Structure 1
Amino acid sequence: MFATAYKFIRFEKSKSTGILLGIIISIYLIGLELGIFFYLTTLIGGVINNAKPEYSQVFVVNKLTNNANILSPFDKRWVNQLRSIEGIDDAHGMVMANVSVRFDNGESSPAIIIGSEYPELAAGPSESLLNSGSTNNLFLQGTVSTDFYDNKTFGYDVKQGTSFEISGKNVTVGATTKNAKGFSSPMLYTTDATARYYSGFSEDAVNAVIVTVKDESKIDEVIERINTVAPDLRAWRSEELKNATVINVMTANNMGMSFGTLVIFAIVSGFFIIGLTMYSATYDRIKDYGTLKAIGATGRHITLLVITQSFIYAVVGFAVSLLLLVGTKFGMAKAGLIINLSPQFLAFLFFVTLIIAVASSMFSIQKLKKVEPSSVFR
């Protein structure tokens, strides 16, 4: 079956090339759009993603908050009060404020400074994100972390040991990270005391409390207790707050609709381009299919032959699309845009490729069902 299907593909080289190009372009665009979309969701949930996972099972924020990038302050005394709740192993206050940074070359940029209690630094950065230096360096007065990929935003080659100004006060980079980024502005991580000093944030307030619950089976019970004890606050599972943040930002900016429309357009246009080109190739070889029927091939055999051709197109087209996506991934990584080509994502793309290719072949299959063996003599 594969040998026969390959012969039909080989006989129509120009149309086969058109079909492959249709698949390659469609799958490349779908993969690229979804890759960028998932990367943006990572940035939008950066406050949650960058926190240390060993401490950040639960986030407690203002009751009206459903966006981790906009956290209203509340009384700092809640940190100690939450520690007394049954099931909570520890609680860590988090400070987050907007600041302005300035470098010695005159470049300036807005930034977000995030601080939490030392030595845990529960708000981040997590050890897996470190590029140089150590989180222990952030204990020193006047030190913060910066992200390698934010250097372009800063307009300055920031490294460990680099000095610059935050709101007119000198600061030194004690550690650098890779991909510990936020959605709107560069993120600077440090201790809560340092964050308060540079931002002027109140000593009596925090933006969030990061709650540690080591026993995962108790997380829901702890959340219920917190919401009962603190009616003006709300406890979230970290993953749920991240998802709520992504939904909030995506709906507010219509980003989800934009990406969804582009993906649907790529699927639909690919379906019709591939389907009509495959139909044209089938029509040109209608006598060959009639010959197969004349020598005893059943309608089921003809259908399987066309579907096999579709499968070959799908495999080859997906392989080329994957090469293009990998090349794009490395190219974009240099600019700090990280596309994650996970096995699950690639499996999904291959499934979409098969669906587009096989569904497109239905035009040809419907045509061939009407072919009579006598068409050979016409």
Structure 2
Amino acid sequence: MLRTAWKFLFYDKANSLGALLGIVVSTFLIGQQISVFNFITDGIGKIVTTAPGYIWVLDNKTQNINDLHPLDVRIQYQIASLPGVQKVYPVYITNGYVQYEGGDKESVKLIGVEPPDYAGAPAGFFAGTHQDLLPDGGISVDLYEERVFPITDLGATFEINGKRAYVAAQTKGVRGFARAFSYTTIDRARWFANGSPYEATVFLVKAAPGASPAQVRDAINDNAFGVRAWLEGELRRTSVIFYLKHSSIVLAIGTMVVFAFISGIAIVGLTLYSSAIDHLRDYGTMKAIGATNGYIRKLIYTQALLFGVPGFAIGQLLIRLFRTAMERQGVLVSFTLEFQLAFFGLICLIALLGAAFASRRVIRLEPAAVFRF
């Protein structure tokens, strides 16, 4: 059957190329849009994923890591007294405005962490160290945030909220969805924001060895007033869902994915249908000599898969080129193996649905009709 299906494709190159193009276009459009979606959702929860291994404690009204409210720092002592808690780290997250000499103001999210542990900051920097943040004005910048930080060289100076700052460390790819991230010490973040030294916006809780993070979370929620504790995955997921509910991201990207899916089915279906019409005599002859409808259907499905697989491969190559180009702009996206397998299954489904549409004309063909051609 495979050899027969290949012959049909080889002797009908125009229709075969058309169907192949439909698969390639569908693969690329779906992969491109999902890449953008993954980048957006990754940026929404980037603060959380950059500092894994903690229980996150926010005010009890917050459903989103990017919308925080001040907390009294004395709450950390109440949390630290609870069973299962090894240590509590205050973090101060606030918004600011960056301005270079002669430039426009750009927004930035300042993340102030407490020395000497620097909990809440990346485990390491692309250039510089955590200790480099200690001198007055020292902050980190991301190499890909050239729109906000036109000069990212170590030692470059600028202003944040009208106060002098300089590049003390560099990150690479640590970017938020709406704002650039800059890490500094907690006292300096308060200073830039004119905040109170008795305030924090987040407490990071390290569970004691052997303690269940879920049980520690529940203990905090049961005993600490005015705050809510989250596991890392819960907070990231809730933040992403909050943004998706209150924006048109899902509608915009989902519409394009559905369009690519339907377009792929239409292109493949119409192309195979045209090919089936052109080969009615051949299919009729096969049915006249004993081929069943099941065999004919499998033959057409095999043809669909024969250009579905290479079409997916070519589409993946184009997606790789797209992602490489975007990585130069700091848009870093990766796909898991599970997603790739599901994506391949989706493309095969497009090819098979198109083949199902085309096979209907051949299935209705009577074997005796071949003598009327």
In the TM superposition, 1:163-182 aligns within 5 A as 163-182=157-176
After TM superposition, give the deviation of residue 180 of structure 1 in Å. 0.9
In the TM superposition, 1:142-221 aligns within 5 A as 142-154=137-149, 156-213=150-207, 215=209, 218-221=212-215
Cα contact 1:15–1:278 (8 A) shared by 2:
yes
| 1:108 lines up with 2:105 in the alignment | yes
Counterpart residue number, 2:18:
18
What SS class does the counterpart of residue 212 from structure 2 fall into? helix
Q: Which moved more, 1:216-225 or 1:192-201?
A: 216-225
2-structure distance, mates of 1:364, 1:106: 60
1-structure distance, mates of 2:213, 2:136: 35
After TM superposition, give the deviation of residue 338 of structure 1 in Å. 1.8
2-structure distance, mates of 1:362, 1:217: 55
| 1:81 lines up with 2:78 in the alignment | yes
RMSD: 1.6
1:300-347 deviation line (CA, Å, top 9, x unaligned) = 221211111111111011011011000000111111112223322222
What SS class does the counterpart of residue 36 from structure 1 fall into? helix
2-structure distance, mates of 1:47, 1:196: 18
1-structure distance, mates of 2:72, 2:147: 37
> Structure 2 regions of 5+ residues with no counterpart?
none
What SS class does the counterpart of residue 4 from structure 1 fall into? helix
Q: Which moved more, 1:86-95 or 1:96-105?
A: 96-105
Cα contact 2:134–2:185 (8 A) shared by 1:
yes
Letter in 2 for 1:115: G
Cα contact 1:97–1:201 (8 A) shared by 2:
no
Q: 1:234 aligns with which of 222, 228, 233?
A: 228
| 1:358 lines up with 2:368 in the alignment | no
Counterpart residue number, 2:325:
331
Cα contact 2:25–2:315 (8 A) shared by 1:
yes
What SS class does the counterpart of residue 24 from structure 1 fall into? helix
1-structure distance, mates of 2:148, 2:162: 19
In the TM superposition, 1:1-378 aligns within 5 A as 1-51=1-51, 53-54=52-53, 56=54, 58-127=55-124, 130-154=125-149, 156-213=150-207, 215=209, 218-378=212-372
Cα contact 2:110–2:182 (8 A) shared by 1:
yes
2-structure distance, mates of 1:6, 1:153: 55
What SS class does the counterpart of residue 376 from structure 1 fall into? helix
2-structure distance, mates of 1:217, 1:21: 55
Letter in 2 for 1:149: Y
Aligned pair in 2 of structure 1 residues 107, 158: CA closer, same or farther (>3 Å)? farther
What SS class does the counterpart of residue 139 from structure 2 fall into? strand
What SS class does the counterpart of residue 100 from structure 1 fall into? strand
> Structure 1 regions of 5+ residues with no counterpart?
none
After TM superposition, give the deviation of residue 370 of structure 1 in Å. 1.8
Q: Which moved more, 1:366-375 or 1:197-206?
A: 366-375
2-structure distance, mates of 1:288, 1:153: 65
Letter in 2 for 1:24: V
Aligned residues: 372
After TM superposition, give the deviation of residue 215 of structure 1 in Å. 4.9
Cα contact 2:84–2:211 (8 A) shared by 1:
no
Cα contact 1:82–1:91 (8 A) shared by 2:
yes
After TM superposition, give the deviation of residue 107 of structure 1 in Å. 4.1
2-structure distance, mates of 1:298, 1:172: 77
1-structure distance, mates of 2:143, 2:341: 31
What SS class does the counterpart of residue 89 from structure 1 fall into? strand
